[in-house]
Structure 1
Amino acid sequence: MTNSPSTAPLLDVRNLSVQFTTRGGTVTVLDDISFTLERGERISFVGESGCGKSMTALALMGLLPAMGRVSGGQVLFKGEDLTTASPARLRRLRGNEISMIFQEPMTSLNP
Protein backbone atom coordinates (compact mmCIF):
# COMPACT_ATOMS: atom_id res chain seq x y z
CA MET A 1 0.00 0.00 0.00
CA THR A 2 1.38 3.42 -0.95
CA ASN A 3 0.59 6.44 1.20
CA SER A 4 -0.83 9.57 -0.38
CA PRO A 5 1.81 12.29 -0.84
CA SER A 6 0.39 14.35 2.05
CA THR A 7 0.61 11.47 4.56
CA ALA A 8 3.69 9.71 3.21
CA PRO A 9 7.05 10.11 4.93
CA LEU A 10 9.30 12.63 3.23
CA LEU A 11 11.75 9.85 2.37
CA ASP A 12 11.14 6.14 2.78
CA VAL A 13 13.98 3.90 1.63
CA ARG A 14 12.96 0.25 1.53
CA ASN A 15 15.44 -2.59 1.02
CA LEU A 16 17.67 -0.57 -1.31
CA SER A 17 20.38 -2.56 -3.06
CA VAL A 18 22.89 -1.30 -5.63
CA GLN A 19 25.13 -3.33 -7.91
CA PHE A 20 28.02 -2.40 -10.16
CA THR A 21 28.90 -4.31 -13.31
CA THR A 22 32.65 -4.71 -13.74
CA ARG A 23 34.88 -6.76 -16.02
CA GLY A 24 35.14 -9.26 -13.20
CA GLY A 25 31.38 -9.58 -12.79
CA THR A 26 28.66 -8.01 -10.69
CA VAL A 27 29.51 -6.49 -7.32
CA THR A 28 26.89 -5.59 -4.71
CA VAL A 29 27.90 -2.27 -3.12
CA LEU A 30 24.72 -1.66 -1.08
CA ASP A 31 22.64 -4.50 0.28
CA ASP A 32 19.16 -4.11 1.76
CA ILE A 33 19.31 -0.57 3.23
CA SER A 34 16.11 0.72 4.82
CA PHE A 35 15.27 3.91 6.71
CA THR A 36 12.50 6.50 6.95
CA LEU A 37 12.81 10.27 7.20
CA GLU A 38 9.74 12.23 8.28
CA ARG A 39 9.16 15.88 7.45
CA GLY A 40 11.25 18.12 9.71
CA GLU A 41 13.74 15.36 10.56
CA ARG A 42 17.38 15.18 9.57
CA ILE A 43 19.61 12.21 8.96
CA SER A 44 23.37 11.74 8.88
CA PHE A 45 25.36 8.87 7.48
CA VAL A 46 28.50 8.16 9.48
CA GLY A 47 31.02 5.43 8.84
CA GLU A 48 34.43 4.45 7.64
CA SER A 49 35.66 5.22 4.17
CA GLY A 50 34.17 2.84 1.64
CA CYS A 51 31.20 1.77 3.77
CA GLY A 52 28.57 3.08 1.32
CA LYS A 53 27.65 6.57 2.51
CA SER A 54 28.26 8.26 -0.85
CA MET A 55 26.77 5.38 -2.85
CA THR A 56 23.61 5.59 -0.74
CA ALA A 57 23.28 9.32 -1.41
CA LEU A 58 24.02 8.92 -5.13
CA ALA A 59 21.42 6.14 -5.40
CA LEU A 60 18.82 8.30 -3.65
CA MET A 61 19.46 11.14 -6.10
CA GLY A 62 19.53 8.92 -9.18
CA LEU A 63 23.15 9.88 -9.82
CA LEU A 64 24.88 6.50 -9.84
CA PRO A 65 27.79 6.12 -12.29
CA ALA A 66 26.97 4.38 -15.58
CA MET A 67 28.21 1.00 -14.32
CA GLY A 68 25.93 1.17 -11.26
CA ARG A 69 22.25 0.36 -10.95
CA VAL A 70 19.61 0.02 -8.28
CA SER A 71 19.13 -3.74 -8.20
CA GLY A 72 16.38 -3.87 -5.62
CA GLY A 73 14.18 -1.91 -3.29
CA GLN A 74 12.43 1.42 -3.44
CA VAL A 75 13.29 5.06 -2.80
CA LEU A 76 9.99 6.76 -2.01
CA PHE A 77 10.09 10.57 -1.95
CA LYS A 78 6.72 11.94 -0.80
CA GLY A 79 5.25 8.60 -1.85
CA GLU A 80 6.76 8.61 -5.37
CA ASP A 81 9.19 5.80 -6.22
CA LEU A 82 12.29 7.49 -7.59
CA THR A 83 13.80 4.19 -8.72
CA THR A 84 11.22 4.09 -11.52
CA ALA A 85 11.13 7.84 -12.24
CA SER A 86 12.18 9.06 -15.67
CA PRO A 87 15.43 11.00 -16.09
CA ALA A 88 13.34 14.10 -16.88
CA ARG A 89 11.38 13.72 -13.64
CA LEU A 90 14.58 13.31 -11.62
CA ARG A 91 16.03 16.46 -13.23
CA ARG A 92 12.92 18.42 -12.21
CA LEU A 93 13.23 17.23 -8.61
CA ARG A 94 16.98 17.81 -8.25
CA GLY A 95 17.78 21.27 -6.97
CA ASN A 96 14.10 22.12 -6.48
CA GLU A 97 12.94 19.55 -3.95
CA ILE A 98 15.96 17.30 -3.42
CA SER A 99 19.56 18.40 -3.16
CA MET A 100 22.90 17.06 -2.08
CA ILE A 101 26.06 18.69 -0.78
CA PHE A 102 28.95 16.69 -2.17
CA GLN A 103 32.09 15.78 -0.23
CA GLU A 104 33.96 18.82 -1.54
CA PRO A 105 31.29 21.50 -1.00
CA MET A 106 33.56 24.44 -1.83
CA THR A 107 33.84 23.19 -5.41
CA SER A 108 30.06 23.33 -5.87
CA LEU A 109 28.89 26.14 -3.57
CA ASN A 110 29.15 29.76 -4.58
CA PRO A 111 28.40 32.28 -1.80
Structure 2
Amino acid sequence: ADAVLLKTAATFDLSVWEFWSGVVCGGRLVIAASQGHRDPGYLVELMAREWVTTLHVVPSMLDALLVAGLPESVWRVLAIGEALPAALAQRVVREYPRTELFN
Protein backbone atom coordinates (compact mmCIF):
# COMPACT_ATOMS: atom_id res chain seq x y z
CA ALA A 1 0.00 0.00 0.00
CA ASP A 2 3.03 2.30 0.14
CA ALA A 3 3.65 4.97 -2.45
CA VAL A 4 6.92 6.89 -2.72
CA LEU A 5 7.23 10.30 -4.33
CA LEU A 6 9.94 10.66 -6.99
CA LYS A 7 10.61 14.37 -7.33
CA THR A 8 14.39 14.49 -7.58
CA ALA A 9 16.41 14.48 -10.81
CA ALA A 10 18.22 11.19 -11.43
CA THR A 11 21.55 13.06 -11.35
CA PHE A 12 21.10 13.92 -7.66
CA ASP A 13 21.95 11.30 -5.02
CA LEU A 14 18.62 11.66 -3.18
CA SER A 15 16.88 10.17 -6.22
CA VAL A 16 18.43 6.75 -5.45
CA TRP A 17 16.37 6.58 -2.25
CA GLU A 18 13.26 7.66 -4.09
CA PHE A 19 13.74 5.25 -6.99
CA TRP A 20 14.50 2.14 -5.01
CA SER A 21 12.73 2.32 -1.64
CA GLY A 22 9.30 1.78 -3.17
CA VAL A 23 10.52 -0.92 -5.49
CA VAL A 24 12.12 -3.05 -2.78
CA CYS A 25 8.97 -3.01 -0.64
CA GLY A 26 6.53 -3.56 -3.51
CA GLY A 27 5.16 -0.01 -3.33
CA ARG A 28 4.18 2.40 -6.08
CA LEU A 29 6.38 5.15 -7.43
CA VAL A 30 4.58 8.46 -7.97
CA ILE A 31 6.57 10.58 -10.42
CA ALA A 32 6.38 14.36 -10.14
CA ALA A 33 6.59 16.67 -13.14
CA SER A 34 10.09 17.57 -14.24
CA GLN A 35 10.28 20.91 -12.40
CA GLY A 36 7.73 19.95 -9.75
CA HIS A 37 10.37 19.70 -7.04
CA ARG A 38 10.49 23.52 -6.97
CA ASP A 39 6.80 23.98 -6.10
CA PRO A 40 5.71 22.87 -2.61
CA GLY A 41 2.04 23.52 -3.44
CA TYR A 42 2.21 21.25 -6.47
CA LEU A 43 3.97 18.53 -4.45
CA VAL A 44 1.42 18.67 -1.64
CA GLU A 45 -1.45 18.41 -4.14
CA LEU A 46 0.24 15.51 -5.96
CA MET A 47 0.97 13.63 -2.73
CA ALA A 48 -2.63 14.04 -1.54
CA ARG A 49 -4.13 13.01 -4.90
CA GLU A 50 -1.89 9.96 -5.31
CA TRP A 51 -1.91 9.02 -1.61
CA VAL A 52 1.88 9.18 -1.21
CA THR A 53 2.87 7.51 2.07
CA THR A 54 6.66 7.89 2.01
CA LEU A 55 8.55 11.10 1.41
CA HIS A 56 12.32 11.54 1.09
CA VAL A 57 13.13 15.20 1.45
CA VAL A 58 15.82 17.66 2.45
CA PRO A 59 14.86 19.55 5.62
CA SER A 60 14.62 22.91 3.86
CA MET A 61 11.96 21.50 1.51
CA LEU A 62 10.26 19.72 4.40
CA ASP A 63 9.82 23.11 6.05
CA ALA A 64 8.24 24.49 2.85
CA LEU A 65 5.95 21.46 2.59
CA LEU A 66 4.78 21.97 6.17
CA VAL A 67 3.87 25.56 5.33
CA ALA A 68 1.89 24.28 2.31
CA GLY A 69 0.23 21.61 4.48
CA LEU A 70 1.65 18.09 4.41
CA PRO A 71 -1.12 15.66 3.34
CA GLU A 72 -2.57 13.12 5.77
CA SER A 73 -1.41 10.35 3.44
CA VAL A 74 2.24 10.89 4.39
CA TRP A 75 2.98 8.32 7.08
CA ARG A 76 6.76 8.39 6.82
CA VAL A 77 9.26 11.19 6.21
CA LEU A 78 12.96 10.56 5.70
CA ALA A 79 14.75 13.87 6.18
CA ILE A 80 18.14 13.51 4.49
CA GLY A 81 20.83 15.49 2.72
CA GLU A 82 21.05 18.37 5.20
CA ALA A 83 21.13 18.80 8.95
CA LEU A 84 17.64 18.50 10.41
CA PRO A 85 17.06 21.44 12.77
CA ALA A 86 15.63 20.35 16.13
CA ALA A 87 12.83 22.93 15.88
CA LEU A 88 11.72 21.52 12.52
CA ALA A 89 11.78 17.94 13.85
CA GLN A 90 9.75 19.00 16.89
CA ARG A 91 7.24 20.77 14.62
CA VAL A 92 6.72 17.62 12.54
CA VAL A 93 6.20 15.52 15.67
CA ARG A 94 3.80 18.09 17.16
CA GLU A 95 1.74 18.87 14.03
CA TYR A 96 1.79 15.39 12.45
CA PRO A 97 1.83 12.88 15.35
CA ARG A 98 0.89 9.95 13.07
CA THR A 99 3.85 10.57 10.76
CA GLU A 100 7.13 8.80 11.47
CA LEU A 101 10.16 11.07 11.07
CA PHE A 102 13.57 9.60 10.31
CA ASN A 103 16.85 11.49 10.00
Q: How does the TM-score come out when normalised to structure 1?
A: 0.29
Between Structure 1 and Structure 2, which shows a larger proportion of strand residues? 1
Between Structure 1 and Structure 2, which shows a larger proportion of helix residues? 2
Relative contact order, higher structure (CA 8 A, sep 6+): 1
Please identify the structure whose Cα radius of gyration is greater.
1
Q: How does the TM-score come out when normalised to structure 2?
A: 0.31
